Amino acid sequence: MLKEDIGHRTSDIGPKDRPRTSDIGPLLSIDGLRKTFTLHERGMTLSAVVGCSFDVHPGTLTALVGPSGAGKSSVLSCIFRTYRPSAGRIMLTTSDGPVDLASADDRAVLRLRTAHLAFVTQFLRCLPRQPALAVVAEPALLALGKDAAQERAASLLEHLGVPGHLWSLPPATFSGGEKQRVNLARGFCAGAPLLLLDEPTASLDPVSRERVVELISRTRDAGTAIVAVFHDADLVRRLADHTVYLEAAPC
Amino acid sequence: MDEPVLVADGLTRIHGVGCDRCLETTGPLSDTNRCSACGAVVAMADVSFALHPGEILGVMGESGSGKSTLVKVLHGDLAPSAGSAWFTQGDTRHELFALNAAERRSLRDRAMGMVHQNPHLGLNFQVSCGGNVAERLLMAGERRFATIRQRAERLLARMQVPIERMDERPGAFSGGMQQRVQIAKALATDPPLLLLDEVTTGLDVSVQARILDLILELQRETGTAMIVVTHDLGVIRLLAGRTLVMRLGRVVESGLTDQILEDPAHPYTQQLVSAAL
């Protein structure tokens, strides 16, 4: 299965990655992350993530692998703080010092989301009724200003093969694959040092998939730290510098 | 770290005389907001939060949650039974409930805009739309007629109210238009704080969408801090970065809006989120 051979890059399989011997410490350091949901109406708890720990360095891609239900997407949601972690620390290195995302206050997290982290979720969630170009450009507006942000957005949409006649239309009416490419373009447009990708190629045809692989590779090589969930073992083989294997919670 | 625009601490409002058992016999755990000992209604109890410049805070709850009471207390329409609030304007920090009536009114006229669900509460229906905006500018101390007229025109145009109709009274407009006029009026003095109380509830959905989009656009242009009170998850999702969930007068949960919607922790929040159509 996935545990055995992971391509030509060095991979550490297991709950903890070994840090690279370099001057640059990890950008992200996760320690003992757990997430349990309490469903009050049904009177039950659901364990989504059981004890996950790993480090992520700039310019590397870490793939989360494991069976369905093992908590891979939940780990990404915890890092982005869409889920409130039940236990553990998520240390992010920022220009103002290290921040524990698991316990940071809401405003600090909102601030970090504007420039330090970006999350491409499985489904496009964006402001409705906005044209696709504006949706993609939005994360870069503050840093680059409107014109430069739209230029970057246009170049990403072009690279991902989203036809120009769609750029002025709201993505709500697009096909699944088109929506996903808008979603990806927006995530990459942010230029954040930490990028979270959840099944980025799931709805895509082979040609689009290759363009996304190229974009991921290029972005990683330029210094972005990436944590990704791929359902495709081949992509893990081709892109992952490290893999982290998540066990499913016991029933 | 920037100064908050508004800090609320332990805000409480009890209708009726109240007694020392009011707080312990009411709230979500008691499933009522009526005190079993004295019959007083605890409309709101122990509400605290901080709102920073440029933020939109959502306050979500159903009927009887206390969300409208909160806004009325902040706006000065109701006095709190307990608690305090500080409003920072420029370099001055005002303790809201320590101000006298005139100071409070002045603060409200200049620095705090409010948009009500019912346009009759926010607009003077005896005066034209342009006149409504002008009234607010006059109360804030503006005296030059040309400035007032120009500003009213600009604001109403920005709210997509047809300029050729600005001398008509609000009664001649649809509900959606009346809300647009209210928003223009509330923003006339460029207040650092805007309170929005169920502003699109009851409007047609297409009208709602346009007004909410406009509010978001305006907020991005002006950086006005806003408190958006609503029972509608969709409004919260669209506008608010952080949200308080209220039930029976108490805040039962607070957090990032996406977190409240995707990872609700409190039983009531979970119920609310799963009930969304």
In terms of Cα–Cα distance, which of B174, B173, B224 is closest to B203? B174
Supply the ipTM of this predicted assembly. 0.92
Q: By the CB < 8 Å criterion, does A82 face chain B?
A: yes
Q: Rounded to two decimals, what is the model's pTM?
A: 0.92
pLDDT for the residue numbered A17: 42
Instruction: Name the residue facing A129 among B52, B209, B262 (closest C-beta).
Output: B209
Q: Among all residues of chain B, which has the CA nearest to that of A41? A: B267
Q: By the CB < 8 Å criterion, does A165 face chain B?
A: no
Q: Among all residues of chain A, which has the CA nearest to that of B50? A: A107
pLDDT for the residue numbered A7: 31
Please give the structure tokens belonging to residue A125. Answer: 């969630």
CB B239 within 8 A of CB B63: no
Strand ranges (DSSP E) for B20-164? 41-51, 56-61, 82-89, 92-95, 112-115
CB neighbourhood size of B13 (10 A): 22
Instruction: Name the residue facing B256 among A40, A106, A129 (closest C-beta).
Output: A106
Distance CA(A243)–CA(A5), nearest Å, equals 11
In terms of Cα–Cα distance, which of A164, A168, A162 is closest to A205? A162
Residue for token pair 């709500």: A172
Phi, psi of A231 (to 5 degrees): -85, -15
Task: Give helix A206-221 / helix A176-189 axis angle, nearest 10°.
Answer: 10
Structure confidence by residue, pLDDT tens digits, B205-253: 999 999 999 999 999 999 999 999 999 999 999 999 999 999 999 999 9
Residues of chain A with pLDDT > 70, as a percent, come to 90
Q: Is the pLDDT of residue A61 over 90?
A: yes
Distance CA(A122)–CA(A92), nearest Å, equals 23
Is the CB of A82 less than 8 angstroms away from the CB of B55? no
CB A11 within 8 A of CB A243: yes
Q: Is the pLDDT of residue A217 over 90?
A: yes
Pick the more confident residue, A37 or A10: A37
Distance CA(B158)–CA(B181), nearest Å, equals 10
Question: Please, which residues bridge with residue A157 across strands?
Answer: none
Q: What's the average model confidence in pLDDT over B44-63?
A: 96
Is the CB of A129 less than 8 angstroms away from the CB of B213? yes
Q: A-chain residues within 8 Å CB-CB of B213?
A: 129
Torsion angle in degrees (nearest 10) through CA of B57, B60, B65, B66: 20
Size of interface A-B (CB pairs under 8 A): 42
Instruction: Name the residue facing A106 among B209, B238, B255 (closest C-beta).
Output: B255
Distance CA(B38)–CA(B26), nearest Å, equals 11
Range 105-134 of A in CB contact (< 8 A) with B: 106-107, 109-110, 127-129
Residues of chain A with pLDDT > 90, as a percent, come to 81
Q: What's the average model confidence in pLDDT over A8-15?
A: 35
pLDDT for the residue numbered B90: 85
pLDDT for the residue numbered A251: 58
Q: What's the average model confidence in pLDDT over A82-105?
A: 96
pLDDT for the residue numbered A160: 96
Distance CA(B265)–CA(B268), nearest Å, equals 9
Q: Is the pLDDT of residue A12 over 70?
A: no
Give the three-class secondary structure for B139. helix
Q: What's the average model confidence in pLDDT over B105-128?
A: 96
CB B271 within 8 A of CB B233: no
In terms of Cα–Cα distance, which of B54, B2, B16, B59 is closest to B272? B59
Task: State how far residue A44 is from chain B, nearest Cα, in angstroms.
Answer: 12
Confidence grade of residue A69 (pLDDT, cut at 50, 70, 90): confident
